[in-house]
Amino acid sequence: MTDRHWAGLVDASRAKSPYFMLLARDPEILEARTKTDKDIFYNPVAGLPRAERELAATAVSRENGCIFCASVHARFASTYSKRRREVQRLLDKGVKADLDERWRAIVAAAAALARTPASFGTGEVEELRRNGLDDLAIVDVVYSAAFFSWANRLMLSLGEPIPAGKG
Amino acid sequence: MSETEPDVIDVLAGVEKGSRLDEVRAQRQEARENAQKSFQTLFAPKHPGGVTVAERYAVATFVAGLHRDAAALAFYRSGLAAKSGRDALIKAIEAEIARGVGQGPYGAYPRGPLSAEDKAGPTHRIAEANRAALGPRLAAAFEHAHLLVFHPRDSGPAALQSLLDAGWSTNEIVTLSQLVSFLAFQIRAAVGLRALQAASTEKD
């Protein structure tokens, strides 16, 4: 691997993953994608709590049918929210699962954006507002859901769609 | 350099400099800059590999059309006209968009409890009449892009064989997959920001 390819991986530990090694064949887009991902999910300043960014990621993955992405991000959503039972209900029943009102609004908005063409409109925005989300939190829902529309497609076509044990 | 080039998501969503939404986006500045860098590296690559810029814009025009997003379609179609300018190609793409539009996601799960949720839908095949204008590489790329756009759960390793058969190398398949999947992100980011803007305008 050249320096260009190491830079694309961003985290050198990813060299252990066959999926990331495959993506590193085009290192520039992998690097930009990874940095986009990190800001959307890890930027701790204001906006939507991490648990609910992961909830949106889980909802999109469930809607698209990326079993691997859904299980990984459901685990993050559970860890950060401590609401394992409800997260499991989303995995079991899908995006129409019975959740509390705020989570239902986030899941419905994320799922609407996941569809092609997206059916996300002012109705979804108003529903998120009614549940206490400000503009930055709504942008976080949009980014989290849009980003997983990217991630699911890559994983389903080039990755391992079946959960490979733990990890 | 990236300061002078307009941010494509802002362009597609109609976010004006200095607007409320511009300020909100600035609070996720790394995401904004790297979404733009993603666009730049896919559409003005320093290392294009085997995928020409014209091919990239051709696929993007098809993908934007499948998303039925007028702003994205106009953006990528004008990019394609600038890079290729072949009327026959653009006409063939428009015809394939009209044949290809649908409603996703659908597709089949690996056999198991989720198989009950399998949802049938069309697999896109390029019309004979459009094959000559597209050529075998783009024809295979479009058929694959349609899978990724509408039924990504059917896009696994078996689906990649037809790209290999049409002369796409593994490196080029990675670039193509990133490009189509990135557009799924970029177009949705614009859709979401547009809705937020529309809801704010209604409220004011």
pLDDT tens, position by position, A52-74: 999 999 999 999 999 999 999 99
Q: Are B189 and B13 in contact (CB under 8 A)?
A: yes
Contacts of B97 (CB under 8 A, 6+ apart): B61, B62, B65, B66, B73
Residues A17 and A84 in one domain: no
Tens digits of residue pLDDT in A134-151 = 999 999 999 999 999 999
Banded pLDDT at B1 (limits 50, 70, 90): very low
**Could you tell me the residue range of the domain that residue B126 belongs to?**
8-16+26-203
A162: left (phi over 0), alpha (psi -120 to 50) or beta: beta
Q: Taking CB atoms and an 8 Å limit, are A39 and B34 in contact across chains? A: yes
Tens digits of residue pLDDT in B111-156 = 998 999 999 999 999 999 999 999 999 999 999 999 999 999 999 8
Residues A57 and A130 in one domain: yes
Q: Of the candidates A152, A144, A151, A148, which has an alpha carbon nearest to the alpha carbon of residue A53? A: A144
Residues A38 and A55 in one domain: no
Q: Look at residue A10 and tell me if it is in a domain.
A: yes
Residues A25 and A100 in one domain: no
Closest-CA distance, B11 to chain A, in angstroms, reads 16
Chain B positions touching A125 (Cβ under 8 A) are 195-196, 198-199
Banded pLDDT at B77 (limits 50, 70, 90): very high
Q: Taking CB atoms and an 8 Å limit, are B45 and A28 in contact across chains? A: yes
Instruction: Tokens for A1, please give them.
Output: 């691997």
- pLDDT at residue B64 tops 70: yes
Q: Taking CB atoms and an 8 Å limit, are A32 and B38 in contact across chains? A: yes
- pLDDT at residue A160 tops 80: no
Chain B positions touching A30 (Cβ under 8 A) are 178
Banded pLDDT at A161 (limits 50, 70, 90): very low
Once rounded to an integer, what is the mean pLDDT over residues B94-121?
Answer: 95
Contacts of A63 (CB under 8 A, 6+ apart): A94, A95, A110, A111, A114, A115, B105
Q: B8: part of which helix (H) or strand (E)?
A: helix B8-13
Which residue in A has a C-alpha nearest to residue B119's C-alpha?
A65
Q: Are B193 and B13 in contact (CB under 8 A)?
A: yes
Q: What is the residue-averaged pLDDT of chain A? A: 93
Closest-CA distance, B185 to chain A, in angstroms, reads 5
Contacts of B102 (CB under 8 A, 6+ apart): A116, B66, B121, B122, B150
- pLDDT at residue A5 tops 90: no
Residue B156, domain CATH: 1.20.1290.10
> What is the total count of domains within chain B?
1
Q: Look at residue A165 and tell me if it is in a domain.
A: no
Q: Look at residue B1 and tell me if it is in a domain.
A: no
Q: Look at residue B73 and tell me if it is in a domain.
A: yes
Q: Taking CB atoms and an 8 Å limit, are A36 and B159 in contact across chains? A: no
Banded pLDDT at B204 (limits 50, 70, 90): low
Residue A100, domain CATH: 1.20.1290.10
Q: Look at residue B52 and tell me if it is in a domain.
A: yes
- pLDDT at residue A162 tops 60: no
Residues A37 and A59 in one domain: no
Q: Look at residue B55 and tell me if it is in a domain.
A: yes
The pLDDT of residue A101: 98
Closest-CA distance, A125 to chain B, in angstroms, reads 6
> What is the total count of domains within chain A?
2
Chain B positions touching A23 (Cβ under 8 A) are 174, 178
Q: Look at residue A166 and tell me if it is in a domain.
A: no
Q: Look at residue B62 and tell me if it is in a domain.
A: yes
Q: Taking CB atoms and an 8 Å limit, are B196 and A116 in contact across chains? A: no
**Could you tell me the residue range of the domain that residue A11 belongs to?**
3-42
**pTM to 2 decimals?**
0.96
Q: Taking CB atoms and an 8 Å limit, are B189 and A143 in contact across chains? A: yes
The owner of tokens 């790297």 is B34
The owner of tokens 């993007």 is B60
Q: Which of A1, A3, A157 should be substituted to probe chain B, the one whose Cβ sees the most B Cβ atoms within 10 Å?
A: A157
Q: Look at residue A167 and tell me if it is in a domain.
A: no
Contacts of B45 (CB under 8 A, 6+ apart): A28, B53
In A10-66, which residue ranges form alpha helices assigned H by DSSP? 18-23, 27-42, 50-64
Which residue in B has a C-alpha nearest to residue A116's C-alpha?
B104
Q: What is the residue-averaged pLDDT of chain B? A: 94
Cα separations (Å) of A131 from A78, A106, B108, B128? 20, 9, 34, 51
Q: Look at residue A164 and tell me if it is in a domain.
A: no
Tens digits of residue pLDDT in B9-34 = 999 999 999 999 999 999 999 999 99
Helix/strand/coil for B95: helix
Q: Look at residue A121 and tell me if it is in a domain.
A: yes
Once rounded to an integer, what is the mean pLDDT over residues B97-106?
Answer: 97
The pLDDT of residue A166: 33
Residues A18 and A80 in one domain: no
Chain B positions touching A18 (Cβ under 8 A) are none
Among candidates B29, B46, B195 on the partner chain, residue whose Cβ is nearest the Cβ of A122 = B195
Residues A18 and A68 in one domain: no
- pLDDT at residue A89 tops 80: yes
The pLDDT of residue A17: 87
**Across-strand partners of B107?**
B119
Q: Look at residue B2 and tell me if it is in a domain.
A: no
Among candidates B34, B104, B192 on the partner chain, residue whose Cβ is nearest the Cβ of A113 = B192
Once rounded to an integer, what is the mean pLDDT over residues B170-175?
Answer: 96
Q: Of the candidates B193, B181, B202, which has an alpha carbon nearest to the alpha carbon of residue B67? A: B181
Residues A75 and A109 in one domain: yes
Q: Look at residue A141 and tell me if it is in a domain.
A: yes
Residues A83 and A30 in one domain: no
Please state, in angstroms and rounded to a whole number, the distance separating the CA atoms of residues A20 and A8.
9
Residues A79 and A152 in one domain: yes
Neighbours of A121 (CB within 10 A): 17
